[in-house]
Every structure is written in C-alpha cells, then in structure tokens.
Amino acid sequence: MNVILIYSPGREGEVISLAALFSIKGIPFSAEKAEPPNTQNWKAWIERLREATYSVFLPGHESWDSPFWLWAAGYTAGAHEKSYLHSLEGVHGPFDDFHFLYCATFEELATALFEDHRHWIQRQDQRAAEAELILRDREISITGMIHSIIENNIDDFLLYLRYGYSPNSKDRRGVSLLHHAIRAGQLEIARLLLEKGANPNSVAEDRGNTPLMDAAATSNIEIIKLLMKYQLDLEVESKNGQTALVLAVGCKSEEIVRLLKNLGADPNHKDKLGLDAIGYARVLGLSNILSILQEE
C-alpha cells in the first residue's frame, strides 16, 4: 500500500500529522503540495501518482482555481484503489463528480486509512500463501486443505489458513476441517484449528457427529482431553441417536467412559433402539464400564 497526499497551501499541519501516523504504522507515502499550474512539474506528478495505490486530497478554498486539482482527481479516481477527500468547512467542489470517499474529520480519515492498510497486508499475505501453495503443487481448494490435514502436513495446512480458508470450512458432505483432523487422528492440527476458532460443537452432516463423538468413536483420548478445554455439548445425538458416551462404550474404552461420565454425560440417554450407555455395557458384557456408569 502506497499513499500519496495532495494538499493545498495552509494544510501542512495535517500533512505532518498524517505523515507521523503513517510512519508509525509503516505505511509508505509521499506528500505533494499542489502548486500553481505554471510551476507544477507535471511529469514528476504523473510518476508519483502512478506509484501510489491510494490517494488523499486535502484541498482548500482556492484549489478550484487550479486545473491540476480537477486533472489529479480524475486520474486517481480511475487509477487508484481508493481516493479520500478531507476538506475544510465542507468544501467538495468538483470532487463530487468522482465519488471520492469523504471523511468529515481527521480522525475518520486516519481510521479509514489504517483499516485499508490492515486489509492490504492481509491480501499481500494471502497472495504469498497462494504462490507458495502453487509452488508446492497443492490444489487450492477445501479438498486440497483436507489432504494436507490427513497427511499431517502442518506447513501446507497453515498456508491454506493464510490463504483465507476459515477454520470452520466444510467439505461438500458438510464435514468440517476439525472433524477430518479428528477422524485422521491429527492432534496438532486439531489443536491449531480450535485455537483459530473452529467450533468444538460442530455437527458433521454425514454422521451427525460432533468432534467429541468422532474422538470417542476412534478412542482418541488425547483429542478428547484437548476438546475438554472447551465448552462441550455432551448430549448431541448422531443420526442413529447415539451420544458420545454410547460411542465410547461401544469402543470399550474405560478411560474415555470415565472422562465423559465425570464431565456430566448422561448414562441414561437412550438412542433410537431404546438403549442407553448402561444398556450397551450390559449387552456387551463390559462389567468394568458398567461399574463406572453406575457410580454415584
């Protein structure tokens, strides 16, 4: 992002203030005073305008006497990503014809430019991540990202996040990235997704499972301990009406059953077959698990 400040005589103080703020934020800029037409170095002006991507106009009442202002306004309106106008006493003049972004106060102008700079940095980082993914022969899609998860390729996975994919993205079947990480047993990627804001209670549309249910179904104790750091819904039912606790009983995992029971999972929550966790423990002859479920 490169900003050019075009100002009239008498507005030097605001230019100095903006220049100081730009320096703090690391925003490249140049400032040019609009001189009378007969003294203006047009060639130098054109070069500086071409180098900029954003422009800020700080005109005065006398600015409309100079054809340069009208010419510069027309050029930047067509060539720059954004052109801002901050005029004294509500002076707009011919700028109205170019749909400039009008900022009534200096603070409003600074805030808008800082937000532009933030988005600019994000776009630059996104482009860099895209270029790196292409160099690595990675498909830039959710499918490509899922492959990086299954392969436990953390470097590529982080590039996909930088590119802009949400940690809550889902595939065409409605299965989130977190579910894919858990089903593949990728603890570190699951941790990264949760830290980036992945929903720990998302429901996968293929099975109706939450991340906790997928972890219970694969007997992944470490991932369950990770999920326990978040607020979890323990009584979500899968498409078969089974809860995470029932799935843990089915996998015959005493440690997971105890963890879920201590979290508050209901051992009497029945599925569509009319069986609950206690019932399954009896049917499967799991005496130790039955004892855990019946503990007060």
Per-position DSSP letters for 116-128, written without gaps between them: HHHHHHHHHHHHH
**CA–CA dist 111, 289 (Å, integer):** 60
For the domain made up of 199-293, the CATH class stated in words is: mainly alpha
Domains of the chain, residue spans: 3-102, 199-293
Tokens of 125: 């980082």
Percent of the chain with pLDDT over 70: 91
Confidence of residue 89 (pLDDT cuts 50, 70, 90): low
| Residues forming a β-bridge with 5 | 31, 56
Number of CB atoms found within 10 A of residue 292's CB: 19
Pick 60 or 137 by higher pLDDT.
137
pLDDT > 90: what percent of the chain? 56
Q: How far is CA 286 from CA 22, 100, 154, 222, 244, in A?
A: 68, 73, 39, 23, 17
Look up residue 11 and give its amino acid.
R
Say what the pLDDT of residue 49 is.
82
pLDDT band at 182; cut points 50, 70, 90: very high
Residue 44 has pLDDT above 80, yes or no: no
| CATH topology agreement for domains 3-102 and 199-293 | no
What is the number of other CB atoms lying within 10 angstroms of the CB of residue 60? 17
CATH class of 3-102: alpha beta
Convert the pLDDT of each residue in 217-264 to its tens digit.
999 999 999 999 999 999 999 998 999 999 999 999 999 999 999 999
pLDDT at 96: 62
| Structure confidence at residue 90 (pLDDT) | 57
Element (H, E) at 83: strand 82-85
pLDDT of 35 above 70: no
Please report which helix (H) or strand (E) contains residue 64, including its range: none
Q: Determine phi and psi for 79, rounding to 5 degrees.
A: -105, -25
Residue 128 pLDDT > 70 = yes
Round to whole Å and give the CA distance between 74 and 85: 13
Which residue in the block uniquely carries the two structure tokens 């953390």? 154
Which has the closest alpha carbon to 34: 13, 6, 60? 6
Longest dimension (CA), the chain: 98
pLDDT at 57: 84
The average pLDDT across 186-200 equals 97
The identity of residue 231, as a single letter, is: Q
pTM: 0.75
Q: 13-27, 41-55, 68-82, 280-294 — which one is most confidently predicted on average?
A: 280-294
- Calculate the average pLDDT of the chain: 88
Helix spans in 151-253 (H): 154-163, 177-183, 187-195, 211-217, 221-227, 244-250
Average pLDDT over residues 264-284: 93
Lowest mean pLDDT among 106-110, 141-145, 263-267, 272-276: 106-110
C-alpha span between 276 and 130 (Å, rounded): 49
Are β-strands 82-85 and 29-33 bridged in parallel, bridged antiparallel, or unpaired? unpaired
Tokens of 289: 């698990």
Backbone angles phi, psi at 33, to 5 degrees: -85, 130
